[in-house]
Chains A and B, each alone.
Chain A
Amino acid sequence: MHSFGYRANALLTFSITILAIMCTMGSLSDNFNSPTPTSQVQVLNINWFQRQPNGNDEVSLTLNVSANLQSMFTWNTKQDFVFLAAEYETPLNNLNQVSLWDGIIPSKEHAKFWIHTTNKYRFTDQGHNLRGKDFNLTLHWHVMPKTGKMFEDKIVMTGYRLPQEYR
C-alpha cells in the first residue's frame, strides 16, 4: 500500500492537479480586467493608387498610428498582437478586411506607442471598387496569455475615404 511507486504516483498526480488549478485560476483572473485602450489613426498620404493589370485596385497609404494599450496587460499576458485593418463593403462582398499593419507588443512598457508607417501588407481589393470608397480603420488586438483563454477586441475608427481618381 505504501510502496515507493504509490507515493511517487500520488505526488505526481497531486502536483499536476495543483498546476492545472493554478493555470485555470490564472486564466480566469483575466476576466477581472476590463481594458480601456485608446487609439488614433491618421492617413497622412495616398502614395499611389492604381488598377493592377489583373483588374484589382491597389492603394498605398502612409499612416500615423498612435495607441495606448497598457490597460490590457495583466499578469497572465504573454504578448499582445495588434493590427490595423481597413474594412469596407463592395457590391460583391459584404465584408472586406485587409490588414495594413501589425505588431507584437511584448510588454506593458511598449504598449503606449506611436508609429509612422506605410502599409506593411498590400491594400488590394477584389475587383476595382476602391475609387471614392468610404472605409473604416479598425484597430484589433489579440491578447495571448501565458496560459489559458485568448482574448480579442477592437476599436473601430470611421470616416476615411479614398480619392475619386487613380494617382
Chain B
Amino acid sequence: MGSIFNLQQVVNGLQLGSIYALIALGYTMVYGIVRLINFAHGDFFMVGAYAAYGAFFLFNAALGGSGLPMAGIALVLAMAASGGIALLTNRLAYKPLRYKPKLSSLITAIGVSMLIEYVFSAIPFIGPSFRAFPEILPSRPIQIGPNATISTQAILDIGVAAVLMIGLTVLVRHTALGKAMRAVSQDKDAAKLMGIDVEKVIGWTFLIGGSFAGAAGLLAGMTYPRIFPFMGILPGLKAFIAAVLGGIGNIPGAVLGAYIMGVAETFATAYNSLLGEGIAFAILIVVLLVRPRGILGEKTADKI
C-alpha cells in the first residue's frame, strides 16, 4: 500500500460513501419534510439487506444461478421491502403524532428502531446471529493504477447510487411530486392551502427514502457480506452524521457529507482500524461546534 493517502483508499472511500449516501438521503428527506430525525431509518436499511437475502434463496435456483437478473430482483425486492416498512412506520407510528410535540416523535422513532431490531432477532429463520450474505454477483478487481484496483462490486455500488441519486434529483426538480415536496418542506400549512395533499407527500417521502435505504442494504450485503438484525445501527448513525455534515434537510448536502464521511473513514481505518469507527463521531462534534447548519445547510430563520 505504501503511503496512507493513496488512490486505493479514495476508491474504497467512494464505495463506502455511496452506501452512506443512499441511507443519508432518506434521513435528510424525511427531516426536510416533517422535521423528524427518523432513528428507525438505519433499520430500514437492515430490512433491505434481509429482503435481498431472502430473495436470493427464493429465486436463485429458479434463475439457474445467473447473477445479473438475480441482483436486479434482489434490488427491487429490497427497495420494496424497505420502502414498505418505512411507509408502514410513518402511517402507524409517526402520523398519529404529527401535530404533537416533536419530542414524542423522536422518542417514538427510537422505540420503532428497537422494535424492528428485536422483532427481526426473534423471527426464527432470521434470528439474532450473523448470517453470511450469498455471493449474488462474483466481484473481480480491475487495475486502475500502479497499486490501485477497483472491484466490479465497487463499480456496482457507486453506479447504483449514482443512478438512484440522479433519479431523485430529476424527481425533486422536475415533477409535480417534487415541487410539492419542496413546498411542503418550506411551509406545510401554505402547501395545504395550495391544494397539496400533505399527508400523501409525506407518505411518498418515506417510501422513496426507505427504498433508497433498501438499495443500500442490498449493496452493503454484497460488499461486506455479513448481515444481522443490528447491522443498521452504525451505518444509520454515520449516515445521519453525514446528513448533518452536509446540512440536514439538504439533498446535495447529504450526498456530499456521505462521500466525505466514506473517504474519511477509509483513510482513518487504514491508519488504525479502531480510529475508523470513531472518526464519524469526531466529525459530528467538529461540525456541531464549527458549523452547526452543515456545509450546504441554509441559515434557518424561524417565522415569528
Q: Are A and B physically bound partners?
A: no
A residues with CB within 8 A of B = none
